[in-house]
Amino acid sequence: MSVQASASPPRSLAACGLPSRVRRTLERALAMVSEELDHPLNALLHEFEQELFRLADQARNPGVGSGHMATLRAFRVNRADLVPRFLMALESSLAAVRSPALPVARTSAQETSRAAGFGALSLVDNAVMDEDTVLREIAARQEGRANLSLHLLGQRFGVLAGAPAFDGERLPLGPQCVCRALETAAKALEIEHDARLLLYRIFDREVMAGYARVLERLDAQLADSGILPALTFVPMRVRATAVAPDEEPATTPERRRPETVPRPQSASGAQRPYTAWAPGVQAAAEPEDEDHEAAYRTLQQLMSGRRELLRKFRPGGEARARLQQLPTGDVSRALLQLQTQPLAPGKASRNLAEVRRSLLAQARQRDGEPATLAPQDEDAFELLGMLYGHIEDEIRHEAPAAALVRELQIPLLRAALQDHSFFTRRQHPARQLLNTVAESAASWHEESAFDPRVQAVLRQAVAHVVRNYEHDVGVFEEGNAQVEAQLQAQARTAELQERRHVEAARGKERLEAAKLRAGALMREILGDQRLPRFSRALLDQAWADVLTLTLLRHGETSDEFRQQLGATRRIVDAAVCPELPADPELATHVEAALGQVGYHGGEAAVIAQRLTCHRADDDDSAASRTELALKLKARTRLGEDNDRARRPALPPRTPEEQAQHEYLRTLPFGTWIEFTTNQQGDVVRRRMSWFSPITDHVLFVNQRGQRSGEQSLDAVARLMASGNARVVTQDRGHLVDRAWQAAVSALRSFAGRGEANASGAPA
């Protein structure tokens, strides 16, 4: 991140000497970005502190643990300086908008050759290089997500600067600028290199994850302020060219599923896990002026070759070629009648072959002689039939939305007869609605994860199209808008439910961490001292819960926790030296503390008496001690998981299972994983909302955000190694687009075989 600024850039907008309108615009931009980043930055500070604490507690080497604790102390001292310095760095970049940037110094070839000797050779500091690489990767990912917004912002900031458009490296408030601001602010924390790298990774997850939306809002704000308000992006027009039937397509459809056991790959070729709540992946925007008619003519050429070949192998093919052709208008009107007619009782839907036979039978009955479809209408029937054939391969037939996909056939056929761009235009409204309904049918895995409100809206949208479609594709847009609004509402509801489950799981993790820490401190206090068995059992069960709850509520450095540690030492001294006089104040304190963790009445008093006065043990009968021990054993301890305690111990992980376990720990929260449920290969999809590096627990929710179980990373890794679980990747695109690519690929292959057979070559 080494763009050199001018010798003395202005530090604030007030002192930069910019024109008043430019300064006010930049101040508004800074205020908006600061407001948007306020909550994520606070989350960054909290998560970084929690992560340092977890690393310190989890460290097996005492030196490493003490290093993390030292970093944590330094961070707590200086954490208040991070956000102000970060915002000051952003303001400085805005204030220097009209300051010329010095070019990066480059070494000439001659100087490089003269410096080739080992005596003058110098290497870049690895720490600086690593930090620079991490920040550049973070910025590059954001630039890829917000490419259009950054392009428009570069033009608008160029107007504010009175200079050419800004590139990504110089753009104020751009991803690279934000990463440089973080690098500057991180120096104020006075933490080590590894801790800064950890801070950058959490910054990427907590702050930069939603920065693309901030850039969109910033671009809209500058447009509203009158900075190039009519600026739009018009992509370069690329005319479609005819492709020979035997020529391979530019991109072959990806029909195979991802690997059963995914492997971490390089950053350039990795398949990213799918983490979104929406059932599909938004397709890239296509140029509005693309020549769809030329693309459709290519399809017609392929269909014509296929039709001619099939005609040679069908008896009476030449006679059918001379039949009367039905006009497209008559076909559309006949389809309208079928569209409005109810289905016969017991019949779920019509397929396109039945529709075609029905149309031709009606024409023969009306005209008294057989008829056939025009070639362009025949093409529409065949192409839509091929598309539906591949869609049926991907949807789940038991899904409630599967029947709705079939109900759309006749309206879609009428739309395709009217507008041939249905087949070549990805953003066609009818095609979008088909994709929304088909994605719902494909992503349905179980009844419990299905939202009946989504099904109701899907049914209403399809009924609206079937009832109202004439020749206006806006009917499809209206139906799709209703479904998309409901899906977005469902996604927001699922996110809220998931957040509550994650907070509960994090609370369990904090309780477990407090329990481990309290146990470690108690072992330090006990040391090599031997306590009576019954007294040690009371300490490990009842009093350990008191230490855990106090640590969880007040923290390790609080006066309350130090007071409980002092009480622990006095309890241990009383157990080691029974001749010490009884301490009524200690007994009262222990009884009150036990009451806070659920011990009440006489039970708390008895335990307090036995913990603080051990001379009474000789006088008490063994029966009373046994009765108290049984009560403690039957009692559920603070944060105890009885189900996990009853699970049998598993054998050590194999190398394959260990590799999957390490891979799972690198996945981001929100990754979807599919689990095989039976020998027939049925799967359910679960979202890995959160996992604990301390307890190895992982939280899964279903498509509605409902908690669907809490497993261990170890169990999931074993399932992945055996092929019964796999990570869902996001490289498959829209379902309808995949089905269409598969249909076109099959059509091209068929045309190629047809030419080979016609020429006498072997098939």
**Residue 150: C-alpha distances to residues 173, 175, 439 (Å):** 10, 9, 31
Local structure of 727: helix, strand or coil: strand
Note whether 202 and 51 are within 8 A (CB). Answer: yes
- What's the number of domains the chain is made of? 4
Could you tell me if residue 95 is inside a domain?
yes
Cα–Cα distance, 584 to 68 (Å, whole number): 41
Q: What mean pLDDT is predicted for residues 158-163?
A: 86
Cα–Cα distance, 226 to 471 (Å, whole number): 40
Average pLDDT, the chain: 76
Could you tell me if residue 739 is inside a domain?
no
Burial of 232 (0-12, 13-18, 19+ CB in 10 A): exposed
Mean pLDDT is lowest, of 180-194, 282-296, 458-472, 685-699, for 282-296
Q: Specify whether 131 is located in the same domain as 167.
A: yes
Backbone angles phi, psi at 714, to 5 degrees: -60, -45
pLDDT tops 50 at residue 11: yes
Alpha-carbon torsion (220, 224, 225, 228), positive or negative: positive
Name the band, by pLDDT with cuts 50, 70 and 90, for residue 124: very low
**Residue 557: C-alpha distances to residues 57, 394, 507, 522 (Å):** 15, 57, 20, 16
**Parallel/antiparallel/unpaired status of strands 697-701 and 683-691:** antiparallel
pLDDT for 283 equals 43
Q: Specify whether 213 is located in the same domain as 317.
A: no
Name the band, by pLDDT with cuts 50, 70 and 90, for residue 717: very high
Could you tell me if residue 144 is inside a domain?
yes
Cα–Cα distance, 104 to 44 (Å, whole number): 32
Q: Highest mean pLDDT: which of 200-204, 364-368, 632-636, 649-653?
A: 200-204
> Residue 667 belongs to a domain with what CATH number?
2.30.30.140
Q: Specify whether 614 is located in the same domain as 661.
A: no
Record the pTM.
Answer: 0.52
pLDDT tops 70 at residue 9: no
**Residue 500: C-alpha distances to residues 491, 497, 504, 544, 678 (Å):** 14, 5, 6, 28, 31
The DSSP code for 326 is E
Q: Specify whether 208 is located in the same domain as 316.
A: no
Note whether 359 and 334 are within 8 A (CB). Answer: yes
Q: What mean pLDDT is predicted for residues 435-459?
A: 77
Could you tell me if residue 494 is inside a domain?
no
Mean pLDDT is lowest, of 131-135, 507-511, 518-522, 630-634, for 630-634
Name the band, by pLDDT with cuts 50, 70 and 90, for residue 322: low
Q: What mean pLDDT is predicted for residues 441-445?
A: 72
Name the band, by pLDDT with cuts 50, 70 and 90, for residue 574: confident
- Residue 557, Cβ neighbours under 10 Å: how many? 9
Q: Specify whether 77 is located in the same domain as 214.
A: yes
Could you tell me if residue 137 is inside a domain?
yes
Note whether 567 and 590 are within 8 A (CB). Answer: yes
- Structural domain of residue 582, as residue ranges? 528-640
Among 208, 224, 240, residue at a domain's last position = 224
SS (H, E, C) 363-378: HHHHHCCCEEECHHHH
Instruction: Write the CB contacts of 711 (distance below 8 Å, at least 6 apart in sequence).
Output: 697, 698, 700
Cα–Cα distance, 763 to 755 (Å, whole number): 9
Cα–Cα distance, 282 to 730 (Å, whole number): 10
Give the residue among 508, 457, 462 at the shortest CA–CA distance from 707. 508
Could you tell me the two tokens for 366? 């009306």
Q: Which secondary-structure segment (H or E) carries 675?
A: strand 671-676
Name the band, by pLDDT with cuts 50, 70 and 90, for residue 125: very low
Note the pLDDT tens digit of each residue in 533-554: 777 877 887 888 888 888 888 8
Note whether 428 and 290 are within 8 A (CB). Answer: no
Quickly tell me which residue has 């699922």 as its tokens: 494
Name the band, by pLDDT with cuts 50, 70 and 90, for residue 638: low
Could you tell me if residue 603 is inside a domain?
yes
pLDDT tops 60 at residue 409: yes
Q: Is 351 left (phi over 0), alpha (psi -120 to 50) or beta?
A: beta
Distance of CA 309 to the CA centre of its chain: 48
- Residue 423, Cβ neighbours under 10 Å: how many? 21
**Residue 597: C-alpha distances to residues 518, 567, 594, 604, 636 (Å):** 15, 16, 5, 10, 11
Q: Specify whether 34 is located in the same domain as 146.
A: yes
Q: Specify whether 636 is located in the same domain as 658.
A: no
pLDDT tops 50 at residue 588: yes
Q: Specify whether 585 is located in the same domain as 659.
A: no
Name the band, by pLDDT with cuts 50, 70 and 90, for residue 7: very low
Note the pLDDT tens digit of each residue in 675-703: 888 777 777 888 888 888 888 889 998 88
Local structure of 730: helix, strand or coil: coil
Cα–Cα distance, 93 to 90 (Å, whole number): 5
pLDDT for 265 equals 44
pLDDT tops 70 at residue 233: no
pLDDT for 115 equals 38
Residues 694/700/704/705 CA torsion (nearest 10 deg): -10
Q: Specify whether 465 is located in the same domain as 332.
A: yes
> For the sheet containing 683-691, what is the strand order?
707-712, 697-701, 683-691, 671-676, 725-727
Among 601, 616, 640, residue at a domain's last position = 640
Could you tell me the two tokens for 552? 């969880």
Note whether 150 and 140 are within 8 A (CB). Answer: no
Alpha-carbon torsion (453, 459, 462, 465), positive or negative: negative
pLDDT tops 50 at residue 736: yes
Give the residue among 584, 588, 567 at the shortest CA–CA distance from 518. 567
SS (H, E, C) 259-293: CCCCCCCCCCCCCCECCCCCCCCCCCCCCCCCCHH
Name the band, by pLDDT with cuts 50, 70 and 90, for residue 721: very high
Note the pLDDT tens digit of each residue in 345-354: 555 566 777 7
The DSSP code for 102 is B
Could you tell me if residue 646 is inside a domain?
no
pLDDT tops 70 at residue 111: no
Q: What is the DSSP string of 400-448?
A: TTHHHHHHTHHHHHHHHHH-THHHH-TT-HHHHHHHHHHHHHHH---ST
pLDDT for 321 equals 54
Instruction: Write the CB contacts of 280 (distance below 8 Å, at least 6 apart in sequence).
Output: 435, 436, 439, 443, 734, 735
Among 207, 224, 241, residue at a domain's last position = 224
Backbone angles phi, psi at 445, to 5 degrees: -125, -25
pLDDT tops 50 at residue 372: yes
Q: Specify whether 304 is located in the same domain as 426.
A: yes
Q: Which secondary-structure segment (H or E) carries 490?
A: helix 474-526
pLDDT tops 50 at residue 109: no
Q: Which secondary-structure segment (H or E) carries 130?
A: helix 126-145
pLDDT for 718 equals 92
Note whether 742 and 294 are within 8 A (CB). Answer: no
Q: Specify whether 468 is located in the same domain as 343.
A: yes
Could you tell me if residue 257 is inside a domain?
no
Q: Specify whether 686 is located in the same domain as 559.
A: no
